[in-house]
Amino acid sequence: MLKSKTFVKKTRSGGVMKIVREHYLRDDIWCGSEVCTECKQESTALQRDPCMESNLCSYPHYVIPDTNVVLHQIDVLEDQVIRNVIILQTVLAEVRHRSAPIYKRLKDIVHEKEKNFYTFTNEHHRETFIEREPGESANDRNDRAIRVAAKWYSEHLKKSESDTDPLKVVLLTNDQGNKQKAEESGLLVYKCEEYIKSLIGNPELVDRLALSNDDKNDITSSKVLFPEHLPLSRIQAGLKNGTFLQGTFRASRDNYLEATVFVQGEGEESTEVLIQGLQNLNRSVYQDVVAVQLLPRDQWVAPSSVVLQDEGAAKDDNEEEGEEEKELRVSAAEAARKPTGRVVGIIKRNWRPFCGMLNASIIKESTRHLFTPADRRIPRIRIETRQADALAGQRIMVAIDGWPKHSRYPNGHFVRTLGSAGDKETEQQVLLLEHDVPHQAFSQAVLSFLPTMPWEITPEVMVNREDLRSLTVCSVDPPGCTDIDDALHCRELDNGNLEVGVHIADVSHFIRPGNAMDKEAANRGTTVYLCGKRIDMVPELLSSNLCSLRSNVERLAFSCIWEINHEAEILKTRFTKSVIKSKASLTYAEAQMRIDDTTQTDDITKNLRGLNKLAKILKKHRILKGALTLSSLEVRFHIDSETHDPIDLQTKELMETNSMVEEFMLLANISVAQKIFDEFPDCAMLRKHPAPPPSNYDILLKAAKSKAVEIHTDSAKALADSLDVARVDGFPYFNTLLRILATRCMMQAVYFCSGMDSDFHHYGLASPIYTHFTSPIRRYADIIVHRLLAVAIAADKTYPDLMDKQKQSALSNNLNYRHKMSQYAQRASVAFHTQLFFKSRGILNEEGFVLFVRKNAIIVLIPKFGLEGTVFFDSKNKAAPNVVFDEEGPSLTVEQHIFHMFDRVTVTISLDASNIQHQKIRMSLIEPVIPGVSVSAPEVEPLAKKPRLDR
């Protein structure tokens, strides 16, 4: 049966277009129930005997939730207790339109066979499709469609031949009007909350209920604490006429009463608006998109240097402005004041489930408690739970439901327990969740696209491939590396020149565009390396086996091969798909030993010496062009093979072979970047590193000036040259400190689509063009670059998304986000393992250097451990010393002693575990000795004999 929808649409040119859409209605859409004898269905999802025991519904039944129940109670629907649920097409379409994250979660539930969720296509069923009536709103029409489908199911299931009680259908809605109409039409209908509370033996499900509006009002006080948020129509008008600015809300980690709103301007221009005080923050949560109104210039303030954490007992909703808000209001010089504003409305909430811990109420029988998120930028959340005793000391997840203007805190609900706080597995899960790292096991849909084993290279695969198995190829990687992306070769040609090849794993051969494995890799974006754990971007069969260029096995590769003379000048470049057989998988240390050992003269060692010699010349050429050599301390843990605790912590040593591999990877990336841009100027995926704004260098210039050293920052070359000659007599570590500080001044490098940008320059490498080609096992950007290069050399065919610059640009944005989150997760993992290391060490004394000075503290770097910590000079337990901060220096005078950046100090290091959720490394000053401030050096006991290392 064919229906048609007709409507008119205004075109951009001002004309009117009549649009007719055909809508097919069918008789062969089945109900999905095992009990049904009417439908001719091959497979079913809804069980014959649904087993949800309820005080309200003592009979077997299926559940049909309406759209708002799905949108607000998705945490309840995900629980394993909730089964045999019918999701109507009407509901699915509305959810998709209103919330992409919840739509994805709903689709995941539907695909989970054990949940017995069934999607019924009611909008195309002849007996359940309804037309919208004149004067009826779209929302009312959809509510009626849900009721009609529920009625159809009730009647349909009665026809089934069954000896037991007939199956019934229960409609769940929180809309009073919809509920009333459903009851009038004879349907079984309940509010979601009353149905969930009626389920027998599952009290914890009640905690997962999101609060309804009635509940929210019940929890809050009558006093209005915050200004009303403006409606979207007023906000849009204000944005249009310039009264308001739109930006992303970025809460402070150190001060819960302060935030900035990042406002993106035209092109690269952007501004930050400072927000101070509860009322001006106006219920914004980190990463919300908000509308702000600038305050008059005479009300602008300077960022506060006060550290304020929202800790301790819950603050009363009726509490007047506290001392903390008054502390913010310090007089500041005109120059230090920043544009200051207030939040007038929320454009888009970016709430997600948050990890943290419960602060149980001091009232014994109370069910209302405060939840403290692990991320200090998120406000505390008020939840209702009857499990407070069981949740003590546990890491849990909580979701925000809303933030009424009468409430000091947002209201939320319990989602699930993660495990005991401090437990390694639990803390690892917390950091993955908090940094939005996809870490679930690969689905069957993804794994179904893996090649069948045993896998071998067939004659068909060899078409358009060069056979390079005879070459002396080897790989050089960190110890323990199993996902080997790259291998190298170097040999002398008959004409006296050298041939150098970089061979990269051909991952794009195994991951084809658009399939489930490709979509999963694109979403993950990158492999995430934590201490002792790796979250793969692609399944392990590829990452550690079929794609990994291990020694003595044949592997598919994508090769970049140059003819180079002995002065490292490139004479010819070619690219080819290939087959290689690596002769050795070496660590950096093993490769270095071969190069240095003059008694070794085998082919692999000769290869390495040739590569190393060329790499030194290439590096010299790069530095002459202005490439920066920066520094950041990376640490390596030695892990106990039985307990998996860190038993030793060292900074990573870099060898010549690290630099050797890096030089050829850079050369390959630059060569490929030029090739794909020449072939596809509009859709090449490239990587750029923007030059930092001059203000970024202020702290570097001040630090150098304090030691009478001059640094030039007019260009990357000027910076590189001045860093090379920056020396202080008797202070060999000075140059390293300066390079560490210079690294902090840099901007983030980003992926972009060549057709969407005109500035391609990579500042740090001093290269006019750059991309990532050399790590496709662990970076999705490299897979896209491989596909572009394969099309460019006619080794593979193209596909529409590859040539679509809008889609490439959107993909680049996701990859930049995933890359940034991966870095943050890795840092958090290092921080956690550092805490574990110091937990078993007691108090240590170590030498360090002042990296930064603050108004009441110094930030100290301990080179031995690559560790940064803060020495505070205002302790709660003793009288504060006389402290004077000079911003110009910058310097900090504590009593009679003046601290400058890079001063040498000795400190104690210990773990402060008083706050189990926010454990931190605590440092106290030993030297220089300042009476009343410094502590005496504790005696450090010699360590017991080290247990065996799992290297």
676-734: per-residue pLDDT in tens? 999 999 999 999 998 888 888 888 888 888 888 888 888 888 888 888 888 888 888 88
> Which spans in 361-485 are helix H?
388-391, 424-434, 444-447, 459-462
Are the CB atoms for 526 and 779 separated by under 8 Å? yes
Exposed/middle/buried for residue 558 (C-beta within 10 Å: 0-12, 13-18, 19+): buried
More confident residue, 20 or 358: 358
Q: Taking the CA of residue 897 as centre, how many other CA atoms within 13 Å lie in the half-sphere pointing to its CB?
A: 17
Helix, strand, coil shares, percent, the chain, to 5: 30, 25, 40
pLDDT of residue 591: 92
Q: What is the average per-residue pLDDT within 255-274?
A: 80
Bridge partners for 646 per DSSP? 639
Instruction: Say which range, 3-12, 196-205, 604-613, has the weakest mean pLDDT.
Output: 3-12
Lowest mean pLDDT among 139-143, 190-194, 783-787, 944-948: 944-948
Confidence band, pLDDT 50/70/90 cuts, at residue 307: low
Residue 757 to residue 761: CA distance in whole angstroms: 11
| DSSP string computed for 814-827 | HHHHHHHHHHHHHH
Alpha-carbon distance of 166 to 842, in angstroms, equals 68
User: Which of 33-37, 40-44, 263-267, 871-875 has the least mean pLDDT?
Assistant: 263-267
Q: What mean pLDDT comes out for the span 787-801?
A: 93
Average of pLDDT values for 339-345? 92
Going by pLDDT thresholds of 50, 70 and 90, the confidence category of residue 343 is very high
When pLDDT is averaged across residues 82-91 and rounded to a whole number, the result is 93
Range with the largest mean pLDDT of 195-209, 399-413, 779-793: 779-793
pLDDT of residue 947 exceeding 60: no
State the average pLDDT over residues 796-817. Answer: 92
Which three-class secondary structure state does DSSP give residue 22?
Answer: strand
Q: What is the 3-state secondary structure (H, E, C) of 601-620?
A: CCHHHHHHHHHHHHHHHHHH
Other CB atoms within a 10 A radius of the CB of residue 627 amount to: 20
Q: In this predicted model, what pLDDT tens digit does every residue of 823-851 receive, in sequence order? A: 999 988 888 888 888 887 778 888 999 88
Mean pLDDT along residues 1-20: 69
CA distance 845 to 843: 7
Pick the more confident residue, 753 or 726: 753
The candidate with the shortest Cα–Cα distance to 227, out of 392, 394, 404, 388, is 404
Task: Give Cα separations from 809 to 70, 247, 781, 803 (angstroms).
Answer: 32, 21, 12, 11
Work out the average pLDDT over 809-828.
92
Q: What residues are paired with 686 via a beta bridge?
A: 752
| pLDDT, mean of residues 820-825 | 92
Structure-token pair, residue 397: 């997840």
Residue 354 has pLDDT above 50, yes or no: yes
User: Which DSSP symbol is given to 559?
Assistant: E
Taking CA atoms, 670 is separated from 570, 755, 771, 773, 775, in Å, by 12, 18, 7, 9, 14
For residue range 46-73, what is the model confidence (pLDDT) as tens digits? 888 887 788 888 888 999 999 999 998 9
**Dist. CA 401–CA 638, nearest whole Å:** 44
Please name the helix (run of DSSP H) or strand (run of DSSP E) that holds residue 791, with its range, or none: helix 780-792
Distances (CA, A) of 55 to 115, 196, 199, 386: 21, 10, 6, 20
Kindly report, residue by residue over 572-594, the tens digit of the pLDDT.
999 999 999 999 999 999 999 99
Q: Give the chain's end-to-end CA distance (angstroms, integer).
A: 70
Residue 951 confidence (pLDDT): 30
Model confidence at 944, in pLDDT bands (50, 70, 90)? very low
One-letter amino acid of 592: Q
Q: Give one word for 868, left, alpha or beta, with left for phi > 0 and alpha for psi -120 to 50.
A: beta
8 A C-beta contact, residue 42 and residue 137: no
Query: Quick count: other Cβ atoms within 10 Å of Cβ 817?
Result: 12
Helix (H), strand (E) at residue 517: helix 516-524
- Indicate whether 473 pLDDT > 50: yes
* Higher-confidence position of 350 and 651: 350
Give the angle 292-295-297 at the CA atoms, nearest 5°: 140
Strongest mean pLDDT among 332-341, 457-466, 477-486, 786-795: 786-795
User: What's the pLDDT score for residue 948?
Assistant: 35
| Contact by Cβ (8 Å): 583, 629 | no
917-936 pLDDT, tens digit per residue, is 777 888 888 888 888 888 88
Rg from Cα positions in the chain: 32
Average pLDDT of the chain, as a whole number: 85
The pLDDT of residue 645 is 62
Strand, coil or helix: 932: coil
- The sheet with strand 883-886 has its strands ordered as 883-886, 891-894, 897-900
Distance CA 921, CA 635 (A): 16
Residue among 422, 514, 494 at smallest CA distance from 811: 514
* Residue 565 pLDDT level (bands cut at 50, 70, 90): very high
Residue 532 has pLDDT above 90, yes or no: no
Helices 588-596 and 603-625: crossing angle, nearest 10°?
A: 100
Decide if pLDDT at 221 tops 70: no
223-236 pLDDT per residue, tens:
788 999 999 889 99
State whether residue 713 is helix, strand or coil: coil
Task: Tell me how far apart the alpha carbons of residues 409 and 138 are, in angstroms, rounded to a whole number.
Answer: 34
In this prediction, residue 650 carries a pLDDT of 59
Give yes or no for residue 817 having a pLDDT over 80: yes
* pLDDT digit string, tens, across residues 620-671: 998 888 888 776 666 565 565 565 566 565 566 778 898 999 999 999 999 9
Q: What span, in angstroms and rounded, lies between the C-alpha atoms of 83 and 51?
A: 8
Average pLDDT over residues 601-616: 92
Q: Which percentage of the chain shows pLDDT scores above 70? A: 89
Residue 779 has pLDDT above 90, yes or no: yes
What is the spatial order of strands in the sheet that 270-276 belongs to?
270-276, 258-264, 245-251, 289-294, 341-348
Lowest mean pLDDT among 84-98, 116-130, 718-732: 718-732
Q: What is the H or E stretch that residue 90 is in?
A: helix 89-98
Whether residue 86 is predicted with pLDDT greater than 90 in this model: the reply is yes
Which whole number is the average pLDDT over 884-891?
A: 82
Structure tokens at 373: 């998120």
Predicted local distance difference test score (pLDDT) of residue 786: 96
Mean pLDDT within 116-122: 92
Q: Are strands 465-467 and 381-384 parallel, antiparallel or unpaired?
A: unpaired
Q: CA 72, CA 115: separation in Å to the nearest integer?
A: 19
